[in-house]
Amino acid sequence: MNRNIHFDQLPNRYLFKEIEVRADAYKTLHPDAHLLRMGVGDVTRPLPAAIIEAMHQAVEELAHEATFRGYGPEEGYPWLRQTVIDQEYTPWGIDLDIDEVFISEGAGSDLGNLSELFLPTNCVAILDPSYPAYMDSSIMAGREIIPLPCTIENGFVPELPKQKADIIYLCLPNNPTGTVLRRADLQRWVEYARTNHSIIIFDAAYEAFIEDPDVPHSIYEIEGAQQVAIEVRSFSKSAGFTAVRCGYTIVPKQTGLNAMWLRRQCTKYNGTSYVAQRAAQATFTPEGKRGIAANLAYYKQTAQLIAGGLIAMGYEVYGGENAPYIWCRVPQGYDSWSFFDHLLHTCQIICTPGVGFGDAGQGFVRFSAFSDRKDVEEALKRMKTIV
């Protein structure tokens, strides 16, 4: 047996696991401490009643012989796939066939698994900093990685790769910097991919936070993108499904990868739970939409509160508009992890160290707006005592 030695290049622990370990160690030493969690982007608002009701009904169906179901289609139930097209794409003038929509258990696993469609010799361009799953899964596959630095100097807007990249991961609105690309900027990436025969894996997990009309919600709003882009979306951050687990991935036939992805899913994925798919369907009902809009408004206001509070204290802050993440430069004398530890030990605040998203994230921390409002208010009060 030869084990996959590429794993040796990964950081010892996954970023959010490392944060958990440090927070748990602190909690063990200080059991009475109230930790203020602004680290991982995990939702805190309960699910809207219409979604809970749909799940109850689905569970009830499974309890009776007449309505019981076993395995569903690996690619998801047609009623959910069609609803996704009707509600998320048709209104933006995007034409998709039902068999281009694949229901998933959430974006995270598909973002890594999609790389199985490409030979390990294909190189991959990844924004630096970015959500660690792209980098980690590319390292596991032993791929050559082209980092695309996103810095203060370039306004966190990456430049096109100087060499040919076979695969490109783009996450917009961006996790962790909160950056967005306007239509004309995204158009340049689609043109690059068409010229270089690259594929863009477009992570649109945060599209529900977009408010600016010049920022596309889907890469398919750009002409020609269906030839070169796979889009990955999630109900986690938009509808609060981090526990329920449901998302979807669009693999257009024009990419030449659609049949491969179906083949892969049929072998390796037994489908998303029926209850989760009924819950996802309920997000598109009028009551579901109202409940989700209220939760999104809460998170958007929390983002403004965090950004405003940090700016008032003199911190240099980016993001937080069109995105739930606030990217904050650490004070002089600290790096990402030492400021993380400082905030944990002096204010009992948990944030995310920027360097955990890539080397170019050094010197930053990320605050998540998916936090409890009272905790955020308390965190800002405590931080005032250390500036």
Where along the sequence are the contacts to ligand MLT (CB under 6 A)? 40-42, 108, 131, 175
The rounded distance, in Å, linking the Cα atoms of 92 and 84 is: 12
Query: Is the Cβ of residue 42 or residue 191 nearer to ligand MLT in the bound state?
Result: 42
Query: Is the Cβ of residue 108 or residue 288 nearer to ligand MLT in the bound state?
Result: 108
Q: Least distance from C-beta 132 to ligand MLT, angstroms?
A: 8
Q: Least distance from C-beta 210 to ligand MLT, angstroms?
A: 17
Q: Least distance from C-beta 233 to ligand MLT, angstroms?
A: 12
Q: Which residues pair with 277 in a beta bridge?
A: none
Q: Least distance from C-beta 250 to ligand MLT, angstroms?
A: 19
Residue 50 CA: distances (Å) to CA of 59, 254, 282, 290, 356: 14, 36, 6, 9, 37
- Among 188, 112, 187, 127, smallest CA distance to 157 is for 127
Query: Is the Cβ of residue 41 or residue 353 nearer to ligand MLT in the bound state?
Result: 41
The rounded distance, in Å, linking the Cα atoms of 350 and 382 is: 12
Query: Is the Cβ of residue 175 or residue 272 nearer to ligand MLT in the bound state?
Result: 175
The rounded distance, in Å, linking the Cα atoms of 353 and 330 is: 10
Q: Which residue is nearest to ligand MLT (CB)?
A: 41
Residue 88 is given by DSSP the state I
Query: Is the Cβ of residue 41 or residue 216 nearer to ligand MLT in the bound state?
Result: 41
**Beta strands across the sheet bearing 199-203:** 101-104, 247-250, 229-234, 199-203, 167-171, 124-128, 145-149
Query: Is the Cβ of residue 19 or residue 167 nearer to ligand MLT in the bound state?
Result: 19
The rounded distance, in Å, linking the Cα atoms of 354 and 364 is: 5
Q: Least distance from C-beta 13 to ligand MLT, angstroms?
A: 14
The rounded distance, in Å, linking the Cα atoms of 245 and 110 is: 12
Query: Is the Cβ of residue 225 or residue 279 nearer to ligand MLT in the bound state?
Result: 279
- How far is CA 379 from its chain centroid? 24
Q: Least distance from C-beta 38 to ligand MLT, angstroms?
A: 10
Q: Least distance from C-beta 63 to ligand MLT, angstroms?
A: 32
